């Protein structure tokens, strides 16, 4: 038989306040929602607190009673005796369930996290405002007004359930029902804390600094364990989930791990070729525009895109050209263009509908013609 005092980590002359404090600490650490696989330890702590927090049970336990604080007489009869008592009401508390704990795990929370494209592509930190539930600072999660205590329910004597006896053909049948006075907790908060109204937690706003992994995208979620809401009765926190929303960038759009942009260049640069500067996340880069470039041509800047999520390597930048036709010419500029048109025999230009000269079919015809 385990020692309840050792289970809670308190001395045999510990006060009721010390026992309660030790229980609350262990219950938060061992709650099945927080530490799966520690259910037996959690049950042992709950049983120890149930016995040692009740004066009558504690007295019986100290005098050599059973684990549940009941007198030890008849404890050795075992299985059949327990079964008989459960169905026919022979013993005190036979088959009675444990009272519910006021301390429960908090809910998980989902919050939107807005980040700029640079942070999403290469990682960094971001801040997010969270409205959540925190432990009440006035009662420290106890729920009772300062200077008062949570009382053992007088109707169910701390069991959280009341027993009802019914006569049947087999004898007297005992059933357990949730105590209507304490709601199954076994305790009653007669004078609730004015700050939290007995819930043990209050509304709070918090600014959290989050580490954003490189390569995240819209809709990805970041989990922060134990940063969600505090549970009722000052219970352990749930988890916080942050759903990433990547804000629009003035230049680049995201295509997986690639970045895309449109670069508008002068007509002369497209005709003669040029190196056009482009400001990227890696600093200024030169975009090599070939002579005779056309609107819609795409130039690839290898390895300058976004970081791949949870993988090594980066994507590329794809630059789409847009050739700008001048709209406001001086007399001198117009004269020069007219001379160019005359030199290219384009003074009476004609268009070409359908397939362009440099389309795939024209290139095929040129090969077949031996050109």
Q: Which residues are annotated as a binding site for Zn(2+)?
A: 136, 139, 153, 156, 179, 182, 193, 196
Find all residues with CB under 8 Å of 113, minimum gap 6, and list them.
126, 128, 210, 212, 222, 242, 243, 244, 245
Which residue do the tokens 């592509």 mark?
121
Nearest in space to 261 (alpha carbons), one of 298, 286, 295, 314: 298
Q: State how far the alpha carbon of 30 is from the alpha carbons of 25, 27, 44, in Å.
A: 9, 5, 10
Residues 138, 82: Cα–Cα separation, whole Å: 44
DSSP 348: S
Angle (CA) 347-349-354 rounded to 5° is: 170
Spatial CA neighbour of 91 closest among 21, 26, 172, 11: 172
Contacts of 211 (CB under 8 A, 6+ apart): 123, 124, 125
Instruction: Please state the residue numbers annotated as binding site.
Output: 136, 139, 153, 156, 179, 182, 193, 196
């Amino acid at each position: 038989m385990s020692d309840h005092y050792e289970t809670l980590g308190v001395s045999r002359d510990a006060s009721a306040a010390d026992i309660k404090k030790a229980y609350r600490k262990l219950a938060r650490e061992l709650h099945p929602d927080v530490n799966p696989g520690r259910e037996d330890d959690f049950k042992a702590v709950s049983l120890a607190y149930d016995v040692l927090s009740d004066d009558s049970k504690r007295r019986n336990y100290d005098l050599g009673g059973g684990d549940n604080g009941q007198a030890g007489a008849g404890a050795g009869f075992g299985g059949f005796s327990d079964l008989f008592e459960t169905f026919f009401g022979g013993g005190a508390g036979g088959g009675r369930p444990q009272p519910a704990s006021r301390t429960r795990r908090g809910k998980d929370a989902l919050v939107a996290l807005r980040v700029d494209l640079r942070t999403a592509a290469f990682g960094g930190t971001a801040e997010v405002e969270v409205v959540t539930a925190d432990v009440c600072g006035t009662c420290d999660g106890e729920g009772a007004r300062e200077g008062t205590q949570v009382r053992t329910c007088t109707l169910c004597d701390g069991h959280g359930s009341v027993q009802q006896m019914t006569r049947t053909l087999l004898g007297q049948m005992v059933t357990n029902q949730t105590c209507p006075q304490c709601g199954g907790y076994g305790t009653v908060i007669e004078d609730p804390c004015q700050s939290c109204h007995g819930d043990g937690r209050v509304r709070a706003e918090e600014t959290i600094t989050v580490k954003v992994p490189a390569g995240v995208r819209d809709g990805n979620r970041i989990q922060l364990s134990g940063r969600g809401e505090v549970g009722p009765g000052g219970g352990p926190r749930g988890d916080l989930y942050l759903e990433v929303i990547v804000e629009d960038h003035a230049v680049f759009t995201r295509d997986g791990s690639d970045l895309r942009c449109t670069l508008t260049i002068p007509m002369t640069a497209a005709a003669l070729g040029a190196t056009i500067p482009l400001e990227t996340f890696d600093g200024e880069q030169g975009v090599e525009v070939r002579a005779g470039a056309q609107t819609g041509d795409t130039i690839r800047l290898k390895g300058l895109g976004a970081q791949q999520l949870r993988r090594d390597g980066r994507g590329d930048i794809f630059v789409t050209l847009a050739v700008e036709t001048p709209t406001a010419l001086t007399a001198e500029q117009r004269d020069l263009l007219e001379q160019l048109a005359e030199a290219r025999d384009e003074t009476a230009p004609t268009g070409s509908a359908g397939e362009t000269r440099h389309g795939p079919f024209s290139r095929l015809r040129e090969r077949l013609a031996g050109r």
